[in-house]
Amino acid sequence: MRISIIKGDITRLRVDAIVNAANPMLGGGGGVDGAIHAAAGPKLEEECRRILRRERMGGLPTGEAIITPGYDLPAKYVIHTVGPVYGRDDLALLGNCYVNSLRIAEENNCTSIAFPSISTGSYGVPVQTAVKIVSRTLYGYAANVIMNTVLVLHSDRDYSIYCGEFGGASVET
């Protein structure tokens, strides 16, 4: 698996799947979640509501993931995962977000996937804490199908922290 780190807009990437740092109701909130819903168009929210109704879910549990079409995005799929809230949830669930998203991507024959920095925005997980979990999880995941993983950061500070942890903007595992 090749891991690349970029500063940019995840909604503009031409990859097989982008990961949405979703809220449990999959309704498009702020930050990455709102940006993905806005860029994908109204069909994404309709699909998320259908999934919750069909599965009789009161919300997507923390650490779990589901997949939808990308609709108006350049990515074929959106994988929605709910990260842990700092100080409330077990941070091990952050690793589950990445593993479950990768597993679903492989089940759908995705060869490329892009992740935001899950839970480091409004959910309050410090970036320095999150990146250690992310690197340990990605280096420990034996990808069978996924060849390219892109970590997409929004700020210069977060980009610098991720590059420091991974040893640069592009690494092979």
59: domain CATH number is 3.40.220.10
| pLDDT per position as a tens digit, 76-97 | 999 999 999 999 999 999 999 9
Predicted pLDDT of residue 168: 86
Total domains in the chain come to 1
* Strand 65-69 relative to strand 77-81, pairing: antiparallel
pLDDT in tens, the chain (173 residues): 999 999 999 999 999 999 999 999 998 888 999 999 999 999 999 999 999 998 887 899 999 999 999 999 999 999 999 999 999 999 999 999 999 999 999 999 999 999 999 999 999 999 999 999 999 999 999 888 999 999 999 999 999 999 999 998 887 75
Which one from 16, 33, 89, 158 is the annotated catalytic residue? 33
Structure tokens at 130: 């999150």
Predicted pLDDT of residue 131: 98
Predicted pLDDT of residue 28: 86
Predicted pLDDT of residue 169: 82
What's the CA dihedral at 94, 81, 170, 2 to 10 degrees?
100
| pLDDT per position as a tens digit, 111-132 | 999 999 999 999 999 999 999 9
Report d(CA 102, CA 98) in Å as an integer.
6
Predicted pLDDT of residue 173: 57
Cβ(5)–Cβ(162) below 8 Å: yes
Report d(CA 120, CA 38) in Å as an integer.
20
List, in order, residues 6 or more apart from 53 with CB less than 8 Å away. none
Report d(CA 8, CA 10) in Å as an integer.
6
Domain enclosing residue 43, as ranges: 2-172
33 belongs to the catalytic site: yes
Predicted pLDDT of residue 55: 82
Three state DSSP letters for the chain:
CEEEEEECCHHHCCCCEEEEECCCCCCCCCHHHHHHHHHHCHHHHHHHHHHHHHCCCCCCCCCCEEEEECCCCCCCEEEEECCCCCCCCCCHHHHHHHHHHHHHHHHCCCCEEEECCCCCCCCCCCHHHHHHHHHHHHHHCCCCCCCEEEEEECCHHHHHHHHHHHCCCEEEC
